């Protein structure tokens, strides 16, 4: 049975390492990040052309099951994968790392709501870590932003007052604490990505008593099967392969 692994995350790479070469696996990366860390096994890079294109690709490539280990905020590909797999009757699993406990954070549902919160609360020096796609919501803000992203946002959507830091995690507590203190940050804006790779900024913000504005995750498509760990996903793939062989 061929398995499609929708990847781009640390969990996806760990799962690919566990499955390859015992499983006929192909990992798919969106191609938005230059020089991505490649997983073990076969890799394809680029989009599918919407749900119709994905459905055709799954059928043409004789895929028997799909594991979606994309970022928790990659809402479009998850919706497309869920629909295509349902149409084709393919087993589909979402490997979703556990969300962070927001604690005392101000929880919002979108980047735009986060930008409004920054304005209403009067924050003036903001550490913005929502990724390049979320920067545009803050374009008209009067605050100063320290913006961290893997790749540079479109210059047209950058806030008037900002400093851009291009880097890729993992990040560690001492470095995050020093960064927040050095730039006199008075608010952290982040998405509830979960996981340990970028969690240190939350711990540093708590130590410095810096308020956090946290964008909550979009809901998963109704009825999808989920796993919270790589080990659970490995077991799911083994079970799906066993069912496939019995058929």
Cα angle: 230, vertex 131, 202; to 5 degrees: 70
Please state, in angstroms and rounded to a whole number, the distance separating the CA atoms of residues 39 and 187. Answer: 35
Are 2-97+218-246 and 106-215 equal in CATH topology?
yes
Q: What is the mean pLDDT of the chain?
A: 95
> Which one, of 243, 245, 229, lies nearest residue 15 by Cα?
229
Domain 106-215 class in CATH:
alpha beta
Q: What confidence tier does 245 reach under pLDDT thresholds 50, 70, 90?
A: low
Q: What are 205's two structure tokens?
A: 């913000």
pLDDT tens digit sequence for 69-103: 999 999 999 999 999 999 999 999 999 999 999 99
Beta bridge partners of 162: 145
Q: Would you say residue 119 has pLDDT above 60?
A: yes
Domain boundaries, the chain: 2-97+218-246, 106-215
Question: Tens of pLDDT along 39-48?
Answer: 999 999 999 9
* Alpha helix ranges (H) inside the chain: 10-19, 50-60, 75-88, 111-121, 173-182, 200-207, 230-246
> What pLDDT shows up at residue 29?
95
d(CA 89, CA 83) in angstroms, rounded, equals: 10
Could you tell me if 192 and 99 are in contact, meaning their C-beta atoms sit under 8 angstroms apart?
Answer: yes
Q: What is the dihedral sign for C-alpha 240, 50, 167, 212?
A: negative
pLDDT tens digits along 123-155: 999 999 999 989 999 999 999 999 999 999 999
**CATH-assigned architecture of domain 2-97+218-246:** 3-Layer(aba) Sandwich (3.40)
pTM confidence score: 0.90
Helix (H, G, I), strand (E, B) or coil at 128: strand
For position 108, what pLDDT does the model report?
98
Instruction: Encode burial over 64-74: b for 16+ CB neighbours within 10 A, e otherwise.
Output: bbbbbbbbbbb
* pLDDT(243) > 80: no
In our burial notation (b when 16+ CB lie closer than 10 A, e otherwise), range 125-148 reads bbbbbbbbebbbbbeebebbbbbb
Mean of the pLDDT values across residues 9-15? 95
**Would you place residue 236 in the very low, low, confident or very high pLDDT band (cuts 50, 70, 90)?**
very high
Q: 226: closest CA among 96, 85, 90? A: 96
């Amino acid at each position: 049975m061929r398995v499609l692994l929708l990847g781009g995350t640390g969990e996806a790479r760990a799962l690919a390492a566990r499955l390859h070469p015992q499983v006929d696996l192909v990992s798919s990366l969106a191609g938005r990040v230059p020089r991505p860390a490649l997983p073990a096994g076969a890799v394809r890079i680029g989009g599918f052309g919407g749900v119709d294109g994905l459905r055709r690709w799954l059928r043409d490539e004789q895929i028997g099951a799909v594991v979606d280990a994309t970022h928790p905020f990659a809402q479009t590909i998850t919706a497309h994968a869920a629909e295509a797999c349902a149409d084709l009757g393919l087993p589909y699993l979402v490997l979703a790392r556990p969300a962070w406990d927001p604690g005392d954070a101000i929880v919002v549902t979108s980047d735009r709501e986060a930008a409004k919160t920054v304005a209403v609360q009067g924050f003036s020096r903001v550490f913005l870590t929502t990724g390049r796609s979320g920067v545009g919501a803050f374009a008209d803000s009067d605050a100063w932003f320290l913006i961290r992203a893997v790749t540079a946002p479109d210059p047209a959507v950058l806030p008037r007052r900002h400093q851009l830091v291009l880097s890729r995690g993992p990040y560690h507590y001492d470095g995050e604490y020093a960064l927040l203190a050095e730039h006199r940050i008075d608010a952290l804006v982040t998405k509830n990505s979960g996981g340990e790779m970028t969690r240190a900024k939350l711990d540093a913000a708590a130590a410095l008593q810096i308020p956090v504005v946290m964008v909550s995750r979009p809901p998963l498509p109704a009825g999808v099967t989920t796993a919270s760990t790589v080990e659970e996903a490995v077991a799911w793939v083994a079970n799906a392969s066993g069912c496939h062989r019995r058929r």
